[in-house]
Structure 1
Amino acid sequence: MDDESRNAPMFNQSVEKGLAILAAFGSRNRRMSLSQIADTVGITRSSAQRIVFTLETLGYVTKDPHTRRYELANKVMEIGCNYLEANALIDSANPFLSAFNSNCDETVSLTEPCGTTMTYVASFTSRKHIVAHMAIGSRMPMYCTAAGRAYLSGLPEDEIRALLAESDLTPLTPHTLLDIDAITASVLEARARGYSTNFEEYYLGHLNVGAPVLNNSGRAIAAVHVVAPSSRWTRDDVIGRLAPMVLECAQSITNAVRAH
């Protein structure tokens, strides 16, 4: 969000702070004291106290009476569930994702863009051992993932570079590409062949291939990707066997989206 929008008369800072408090909880901050909440969000303790009291009253956070620490209540899931239930793309994609998952018996997912990240909105998990599980709502960066590069491949080059410039280019593994020109070249190559790859750039042991879902204007709106553990797949097998499958799945979802 730019400063101009944040300083607009219609912008409500209390709502912003309330959402920031909810977003501050996670695997690293499962339970927090009032002071910790204030420090994490960057607001005063008195402001945090008023907002947390409101969130607690509404049922979005709960407080342990003994430790006096707060944690998220399951009511926050209502908002996410409402989004998933109202998302026509997910309804269109699920049959094709399920079929893809059955054909390859690996984890197949649909992600949508959110800033410089991709958010998991649907996933069919492999019945075999998986290295890591990404829950619905989890995010991953665009710059070093097959899903992110697949999505970027469906955008104009100036937008690709702008999103990469905004990204926190962190070396997540020894294989992570960090040079914007090199990443852009990888994205443009993905555009030319129809699918993107990520070989252990985001997570060691993961070989990924993805393809974009396009709207009627030919612009990417989401991405399909499959995770192939290196213990079961070689790079050549990923490209030779899984890439055609992910292309077919993404194209089927694209056709379904365009038909609505």
Structure 2
Amino acid sequence: MASDQSNNQSVERAISVLRAFLTGRPELRVSDVAKATGLGTSTASRLLATLETLEFVERDPISGLYRLGTAPITLGGVALNQNPVHREARQVAQELAASVGLGVNVAIRQGDSLFYLLNFEGRLAPRPFVLTGQRKPLYATGIGKCLLLALSGEERRALVPEETMQPFTAHTITTHARLDEELAAVLSRGYAKEVEELAFGRACVAAPIRDRSGAVVAAISISGPLSAIDLATREAELASTVIETADSISIGLGYVGPVSAFAMSAS
């Protein structure tokens, strides 16, 4: 039993070292890792050395700083390839981004956050970084609103207490009463939209993706800068497109429900 506890602690410490690199800084000193994890400097140094031999981190020979290695990329690629939503959505999303010239993102729910499985950027919405693997709040995003459709009002309140609904901009929804109204509108029209609720100057339209049982298991969005997405004149067009794309992915996952009435009337 003592040996099992020691092994578990070693694994937890190694994972905490890897999570220290999620802060956004590309390279860390041993002291930075020790501070982020609460480990002693010698323990952090020993764990980093072990992780380096396993290619989970790599050390710059000149600066001595550590950064993530190639092993996490390999594991991430395998995990994505094994995910059924990613398999069904990847090619469709890539072609859609090229077609509309905007960003196309697919995400699932992980706890109280959305988790991006993939993203592609069109020529009108370039980014200097990838969203894949990032987490964002459910209540402040178009995709998140679609994912919240899978939960009852009581479940939403338990998952995302109102005191945790912090504003990112003046447009962010910060009460469940307002969120309930918004989700009712999403159900009615078949898609969600978000305009500068998470970040200034950006907007999106999103639609839920369902599995064989009809449950909402993921969502897809078309996003971009306000000037490029131009919802004032393109909302109906983009909403129809994102709903049809979500329906296509859902069918690939085994969903046999009716195609959205909005998509049919807009086509």
TM-score, normalised via structure 1 length: 0.85
Tell me if structure 2 keeps the 8 A contact 1:116–1:167.
Answer: no
Offset at residue 11 of structure 1 (A): 8.9
Q: In the alignment, what sits opposite 1:33?
A: 29
2:134 pairs with 1:160? no
2:96 pairs with 1:61? no
Q: In the alignment, what sits opposite 2:68?
A: 72
Q: Which runs of 5+ in 2 are unaligned?
A: 257-267
Number of matched residues? 253
Rounded to whole Å, the distance in 1 between the matches of 2:10 and 2:226 is 47
2:205 to 209, 223, 226: 209
Q: How does 1:102-181 map to 2 (within 5 A)?
A: 102-130=98-126, 133-165=129-161, 168-181=164-177
Rounded to whole Å, the distance in 1 between the matches of 2:154 and 2:248 is 28
Q: In the alignment, what sits opposite 2:251?
A: 255
Q: Secondary structure at the match of 1:258?
A: coil
Q: Secondary structure at the match of 2:116?
A: strand
Q: In the alignment, what sits opposite 1:188?
A: 184
Offset at residue 108 of structure 1 (A): 1.1
Residues 113 and 105 of structure 1, relative CA distance in 2, 3 Å threshold: same
Q: Could you give the per-residue CA deviations for residues 74-109 of structure 1, whole angstroms, max 9, x where no partner exists?
A: 222111011112222222123432343344221111
Q: Secondary structure at the match of 1:85?
A: helix
Residues 132 and 141 of structure 1, relative CA distance in 2, 3 Å threshold: farther
Rounded to whole Å, the distance in 2 between the matches of 1:241 and 1:10 is 58
2:88 pairs with 1:92? yes
Q: Which amino acid aligns with 1:232?
A: A
Q: In the alignment, what sits opposite 2:260?
A: none
The root-mean-square deviation of aligned C-alpha atoms, in Å, is 2.7
Q: In the alignment, what sits opposite 1:197?
A: 193
Tell me if structure 1 keeps the 8 A contact 2:102–2:229.
Answer: no
Q: In the alignment, what sits opposite 1:5?
A: none
Offset at residue 10 of structure 1 (A): 11
Q: Which amino acid aligns with 1:175?
A: H
Q: Could you give the per-residue CA deviations for residues 94-147 of structure 1, whole angstroms, max 9, x where no partner exists?
A: 343234334422111111222222222222321224367543222222110101
Rounded to whole Å, the distance in 1 between the matches of 2:139 and 2:194 is 10
Q: In the alignment, what sits opposite 1:3?
A: none
Offset at residue 33 of structure 1 (A): 1.7
Q: In the alignment, what sits opposite 1:21?
A: 17
Q: Secondary structure at the match of 1:25?
A: helix
Q: In the alignment, what sits opposite 1:81?
A: 77
Rounded to whole Å, the distance in 2 between the matches of 1:120 and 1:12 is 29
Q: Which amino acid aligns with 1:234?
A: D
Rounded to whole Å, the distance in 2 between the matches of 1:217 and 1:183 is 25
Q: Which runs of 5+ in 1 are unaligned?
A: 1-7
Rounded to whole Å, the distance in 2 between the matches of 1:176 and 1:166 is 13
Q: Secondary structure at the match of 1:197?
A: strand
Rounded to whole Å, the distance in 2 between the matches of 1:127 and 1:40 is 38
Rounded to whole Å, the distance in 2 between the matches of 1:29 and 1:179 is 33
Q: Which amino acid aligns with 1:250?
A: A
Tell me if structure 2 keeps the 8 A contact 1:131–1:229.
Answer: no
TM-score, normalised via structure 2 length: 0.83
Residues 187 and 19 of structure 1, relative CA distance in 2, 3 Å threshold: farther
